[in-house]
Amino acid sequence: MAEPATRRDVPATYGTSLVDLLDRVVSTGVAITGDAVISLAGVDLIRLDLRLLLVGIDTAIRIEGPT
Amino acid sequence: MTGTHRQPYAYAFVRADTEVADGLTGIGPQPAPIRLLRHGSLGVLVSDVDLERLNGLLDTDLTEDGELAVRAREHDHVVRAAAEHGPVLPFRFGTVLRDDAAGDRLLAEHHDTAVALLAHLGSRQEWGIRLRAQPRTDDEPSARDRGSGTSYLASRARRLRDLDRQSVQARETAEAIRQDLVAWAADTADRPKRDALLNVAVLVEPSAEDDFLRYVGHLAVRAADAGLLLDVTGPWPPYSFSPAELEARDG
């Protein structure tokens, strides 16, 4: 990924936290329902947990931005 | 659920002619190669997983090295790798199909919808824009500054009025920025706000990335003037632009 042209000049923060990742991968995307699909055990519960957790969690844990 | 059985874990709808990179493997402690199931002009990327090995994600702690984080990154990696070769419509984490035949029915049932969505998304990528209140530094007046009880109460009332005005201004700025983003981009999606004042996903053509980031720079300056911090994440596969639910019946 190219260095955003504006990074030096603006009071914005860039980067991707673990929470950002989980929030997209686990909470969005096409959800297939119906009996052609087996859910991973516990995944729905994870979703529930994440909802609760993401309310309070800060983004202190930073990981490398996507390349 | 049987222990030794391996089932196709689904990552994303793609076009049937999408190239799968050699050596690309999927999710899990013993990752299997990525396969492309096809039906008409639609494909779905899968890899075989052992459900038993993927269980227990609930017990994982949410750290960088926790199992959930590792698996989520593996999922994301496959979607991103596919996105380099064409449009993707990512599935939610944890989508496991009964078998390849179920995958074929899924493809057949949603063929036209998914093909149209893939064409609509094209090569655009998702960026996340979030606005939060900047951490406050001028909280309660210190004991030293309080003076008499009356002047303390007066300054406290003043402070509460200021906070009120600032929060109204912050909300108005957040809404104005949202409207500007919507006007700038052809496609935006609201994401759960949680503790933020604004959380929006924007679809951006890679060739327009510099323009977009420059524009976001202007918005960040405006946000800062209103005491808000703007943060940007991306680029992402279009997770926030995939339909929330599709049904697939067995047989």
Cis peptide before B235 (omega within 30 of 0): yes
Instruction: Pick A34's closest partner by Cβ from B89, B192, B248.
Output: B248
Please answer yes or no on whether A25 and B93 come within 8 Å at the CB atom: yes
Please tell me what DSSP assigns to residue A29.
S
Q: pLDDT higher for B206 or B69?
A: B206
Chain B residues closer than 8 Å to A32 by CB: 10, 91-92, 95, 106, 245-248
Supply the mean pLDDT for chain B.
Answer: 87
As a whole number, the mean pLDDT across chain A is 61
Interface test with A, best of B52, B92, B242 (most A CBs within 10 A): B92
Of A2, A10, A38, nearest to B221 by CB-CB distance is: A10
Q: How many residues does chain A have?
A: 67
How many residues would you count in chain B? Answer: 251
Query: What ipTM was predicted for this assembly?
Result: 0.80
The per-residue pLDDT for B123 is 94
What does the alpha-carbon distance between residue A21 and residue B185 come to, in Å, rounded to a whole number? Answer: 23
Scan residues 63-82 of B and list those with Cβ closer than 8 Å to A.
Answer: 63-64, 68-69, 72-73, 75-76, 80
pLDDT at residue A49, rounded to an integer: 62
pLDDT greater than 80 at residue B120: yes
Question: Which residues of chain B neighbour A8 with C-beta distances below 8 Å?
Answer: none
Q: What's the pLDDT score for residue B184?
A: 93
- As given in the structure block, the two tokens for residue A36 are 């052609």
**pLDDT band at residue A8 under the 50/70/90 scheme:** very low
Mean pLDDT confidence for B237-247 = 84
CA–CA min distance B145, chain A (Å): 32
Which of B55, B75, B93 has the most A C-beta neighbours within 10 Å, making it the best mutation to test the interface with A?
B93
Q: What is the pLDDT of residues B126-137, one digit of tens each?
A: 999 999 987 665
B57·A43 Cβ contact <8 A: yes
* pLDDT for the residue A4: 45
Helix (H) or strand (E) holding B70: helix B67-83
Q: Which residue has the tokens 């991103």?
A: B80
Q: Quick one: average pLDDT of B82-96?
A: 93
What is the average per-residue pLDDT within B42-52?
93
Provide the number of CB pairs (under 8 Å) joining chain A to chain B.
190
pLDDT class for A61, splitting at 50, 70, 90?
very low
Edge-to-edge strands of the sheet including B228-236? Answer: A12-14, B228-236, B125-133, B198-204, B188-190
User: In the prediction, which pLDDT does A44 show?
Assistant: 62
Tell me what pLDDT residue A1 has.
Answer: 43
Q: What share of chain A in percent tops pLDDT 70?
A: 33
Closest-CA residue to B170 (of B109, B229, B216, B242) = B229
Tell me the per-residue pLDDT of A13-39, one tens digit each, with 9 for 90 and over. Answer: 666 778 888 889 888 888 887 777 886
Among B72, B90, B210, beta carbon nearest to A21? B72
- In angstroms, the CA A19 to CA B97 distance is 26
Reference B51, options B92, B90, B97, B91; nearest CA is: B97
Please judge whether B7 and A38 are an interchain contact, meaning their C-beta atoms are less than 8 angstroms apart: yes
How far apart CA B83 and CA B19 sit, in angstroms, is 10
Query: Are A36 and B64 in contact (CB < 8 Å)?
Result: no
B227 touches chain A (CB under 8 A): no
B28-65 burial string, b = 16+ CB within 10 Å, else e? beeebebbbbbbeebbbbbbbbbbeebeebbebebeee
Return phi, psi of residue B64, to 5°.
Answer: -55, -35
Most confident of the following: B65-74, B121-130, B146-155: B121-130
pLDDT score at B104? 94
Residue B98 gets the label, from left (phi > 0), alpha (psi -120 to 50) or beta, of alpha
Residues within 8 A of A (CB atoms), B 145-184 only: none
